[in-house]
């Protein structure tokens, strides 16, 4: 464990960024944090350096990603069809099956050293879900979890017409996290018709815009989500501009 828990979290908004670029950036931050933890174990506790934490928000152009436990047949488009839909496809190193990212969706990538917070991956996942549940409550929507399934759902109790509004998939090593959540705000739901979302064949996907019947101010939703994440994790957020992505505007 770190000698001192560092609850400061550097927040960066990357804008609309290619999935591969964001993935590479995550990997860099993830690897640097793990390397610092390895080096800390080699020196006396009073000489160890604190590890950094990051919270990245962004949106992606149309892209499908397949987790380690996913099935390729859950992508219903061939290579030519992907080009026609102006979408990319990546196999990635998070858990979970196939999912979609695109404009109008808030993607949150926490790169946290959980030694700075709590070493419980299940609690970590529940906090990610809870941040979205609380954000939806701000808009008058009751959301929650469905046993045995990941993410955040509407009509999660009676399940007459359960609808997934947020997908999740994470990776962790030495208590350092990466990947995260994808919250459908103004998403083009047609793109979900080209996959079996998260490998679930009998349940629908929705968005905040779809549920409320009007396009939403995504910056406002981001602010609410960020507030709830900070409160749940007791983060001390420090906003920082990333020059690598600063030229990209939404």
Which CATH number characterizes residue 194's domain? 3.30.930.10
**Domain range holding 34?**
8-239
pLDDT digits (tens, 9 = 90+) for 174-197: 999 999 999 999 999 999 999 886
Q: Is residue 2 part of a domain?
A: no
pLDDT digits (tens, 9 = 90+) for 89-138: 988 877 777 889 999 999 999 999 999 999 999 999 999 999 999 999 99
pTM, entire model: 0.92
For residue 249, name the pLDDT band (cuts at 50, 70, 90): very low
Our CA dihedral for 23, 29, 35, 36, rounded to 10 degrees, sits at: -170
Q: Which of 124, 129, 109 is nearest to 9 (CA)?
A: 109
Q: What is the DSSP pairing of strand 63-66 with strand 54-59?
A: unpaired
For residue 47, name the pLDDT band (cuts at 50, 70, 90): confident
Q: What is the DSSP pairing of strand 152-154 with strand 176-184?
A: unpaired
Q: Is residue 80 part of a domain?
A: yes
- Total domains in the chain come to 1
Q: Which residues are catalytic?
A: 198
Our CA dihedral for 112, 117, 122, 124, rounded to 10 degrees, sits at: -50
């Amino acid at each position: 464990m770190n000698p001192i828990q560092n609850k400061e979290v550097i927040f960066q908004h990357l804008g609309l960024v290619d999935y591969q670029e964001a993935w590479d950036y995550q990997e860099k931050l993830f690897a640097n944090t793990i390397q610092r933890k390895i080096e800390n174990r080699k020196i006396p506790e009073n000489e160890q350096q604190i590890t950094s934490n990051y919270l990245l928000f962004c949106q992606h152009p149309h892209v499908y990603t397949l987790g380690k436990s996913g099935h390729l047949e859950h992508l219903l488009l061939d290579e030519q069809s992907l080009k026609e839909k102006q979408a990319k496809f990546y196999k990635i190193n998070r858990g979970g099956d196939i999912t979609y990212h695109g404009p109008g969706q808030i993607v949150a990538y926490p790169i946290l050293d959980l030694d700075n917070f709590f070493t419980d991956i299940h609690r970590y996942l529940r906090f990610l879900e809870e941040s979205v549940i609380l954000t939806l409550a701000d808009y008058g929507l009751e959301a929650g979890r469905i046993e045995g399934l990941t993410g955040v759902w509407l009509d999660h109790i009676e399940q007459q017409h359960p609808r997934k509004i947020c997908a999740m998939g994470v990776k962790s090593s030495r208590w350092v996290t990466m990947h995260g959540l994808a919250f459908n705000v103004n998403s083009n739901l047609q793109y979900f018709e080209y996959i079996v979302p998260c490998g679930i064949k009998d349940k629908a996907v929705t968005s905040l815009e779809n549920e409320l019947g009007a396009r939403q101010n995504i910056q406002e939703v981001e602010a609410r989500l960020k507030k709830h994440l900070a409160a749940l994790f007791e983060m001390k957020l420090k906003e920082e501009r990333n020059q690598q992505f600063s030229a990209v505007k939404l």
